[in-house]
Structures are given as C-alpha cells and as structure tokens.
Structure 1
Amino acid sequence: MEEVKLRTLSVLVDNESGVLSQVSRLFSRKGFNVESLAVGTTDNPAISRMTIEVLANENQTNLMCNQLAKMVPVHSVKLLVPSHSIRRELVLYKVRAKTSEDKNEIIQIANIFRGSIIDVSKETLTLSVIGDEKKTDAVQELLADFGIEELVRTGMIALERGKYTIDEDTKEKGEFNYGKDVL
C-alpha cells in the first residue's frame, strides 16, 4: 500500500467568486479532507494562489492534480516537493500575562523564536510567529504554561525554492485549456 502523507499543492486560479467553492467541492467529492487551505491574490489581481495541503498517497495526489487542472478557472497546478519548497504559516497567540514576570518570559520566548509582540493589555500579550509546524508547535507548547486564551493559524503557504515557479510551462500546449478562453 502506498504511503499516505501530507502533500502540498499550489494552484493558480481566477480571482472570482465561487472558485474556492468549486475547488473545495472537488476535494469533498473525492473524499479528501483538506488539512490546510490558504488563498490570496498574486501580483496579478485577476489571479489568486491557493495553497492546499491534503493527506493522500501518490496516486490520489496525481488524480487530484489532474482533476484540478481540468477545471475552467484553474490556470496551473503544481505538487510541491518538500525538499524544494518553502512552507510557512502565521500563527497569532493571545496569552495570559498578569504579572510583569510573565510578560518578560513571554517576550523572551517571542524573541527566541523571532516572533513579534503585536498587542499588549493589562492581562494578555498577543504574539505573531511565522514558521513551519515544528516552530509554531514548539512556541505553542511553551506558551501553554501561561494559558493560551486564543490561537489562530492562517494555514500553510508555500513556494518553490530558487528559479522554479508555478508558471513553468509543464503542460503540453492546449492540454486542459479547451474551453477556458471560450467564456
């Protein structure tokens, strides 16, 4: 049996209403749970990039990539290889800090992990940390002793390292493009 592991897909889509719904329906129809999803516009306001993480084996991943590539609003789909990509997420932690000693310790933790204190109140500090799962989980474990009031994660975003981009001409000319320019 093939190994099921976390796969990261980078997908360029039209920046229009309903596209996210179409993509998420594809995953649910095929029985996949999306572990992480982050969507935002690119340097071209008409195009959005989706970073989708899903637990799947190699055959399932190939099926999903092919199904995505056939969708009308999809411009490009790429499976990112972990050793050749950069993955990061932003996590905000609101932590109890009633004493100045607690505040100093939390600030030290933020500094060690290159985080930022983004809000201070009499009883809480809010930190932002950017990193991979190991880093953000380590911060969470250290902050748990103080009491985490709230936590929010953006979802993983990813890019390939070096000169490679999602816009690489990896598709055969015309493949999956039939009908995309008709509407």
Structure 2
Amino acid sequence: MGHSDYSIVKTNSSASHRSSPDRDSGISDNASTVTVDKRELGSQAFQICHELTTIVRLSSDFLSDVIEGKESASELLDELQNKVHPFLITLDGEMSNIEQLLRKNLDRSRIGDSKVGWLLEYNRYQLEFRRVLMDLSGPVYEDLERVLRLRNRGCLGLSPKKETIASLREMSAGLERATKLIRNERAKPESAY
C-alpha cells in the first residue's frame, strides 16, 4: 500500500462532501428547538458508515503491509501517525456532532412522537459506529503503533496481535451489515414506526 492510498481517505473525509448541523442541511437549530430530518440523518449515518468502512479497509491493508514488511517501519509509522490518526480524529468529531444532534432530538421528543422510532434506530447505529471507532483508534491503532515503533528500533520479529487481525475482520463484516441495514432504514417511511 503506497502513500497515495491514504490520500483517498482524506479526500473522502472533507467537510465539503457532507452537510454540517449549522449549514442548510435539512437540520435546523435555533434557541428553542433542534429538529432533524429523517432523510438527512440517514444520509449522515450512511456517510459515517462509509467512512468507517473505508478506514477499516485501509487499516486492514496497512496491517498486511506491516505483517509482510513491504515498506520500512519508519515509513509505515509515519503514515500511521500523520495520515491515519488525523483521519480518526476528524471522524470522531463528525460522529460527536451527530451524537449531539440525536441526543437533543431525543431529549425534546415525546414518547408518542412518530420520529422517536427512527431517532432511536439511528442512535443504535451511532452507538455501534462509536464502538467501532473506539476499537479502531484504541487497541488496533495502539498495537500497530507498538509493532512499528519496536521494529523501527530494530526488533524485527514482532507482528501485530491475533486480536488485532480478528478485530479488523469483525469490524469489516459488521460494517457491511450496517450498510445494508441503513439502506433499508432510509427506505422506510416515517409512518412505519
């Protein structure tokens, strides 16, 4: 995997591809209420899922490069710290915005409101996305960084943990399922709740 592979991630993550809560996006925010449109929320959830899928795939490719030793440890460590890590931070911020929006809308909803069903469903997806990001930016990232730092110091016999490899496989499979579920959720009419 070359240096250009990670530039794809950075391009896909730019804010211009996605509306933020303070722009004209179907989401309004004033002092008394915060409302969210189901279609826009579905679009944002799908975008987050897509970005997570992209970074999980690239992390899997990155893991393969680490295992196979295709590039030097210092080059891989530089890519990990200067390309993957900033993307994870950006994605965390985007997810925080959606989580805050969901929380505000759920707090202002009544149990009988028709939107409660789809808000709870998207909240469930968001919680799972957060879990994936925490695993990716926590144990997976730390293991890759540990191996590369030690290899860079001359400890050549190290490989990532089996748990890291298994975790990336599980994330990939889970995000494929989530993509299908979100597509189905977006197609449901609001009256289905």
Q: Shared fold by TM > 0.5?
A: no
| Range class of TM-score, shorter chain | under 0.3
The structure in which a higher percent of residues are strand is: 1
TM-score normalised by L of structure 1: 0.26
The structure in which a higher percent of residues are helix is: 2
Give the structure with higher Rg (CA): 1
Higher RCO (CA < 8 A, seq sep 6+): 2
TM-score normalised by L of structure 2: 0.25
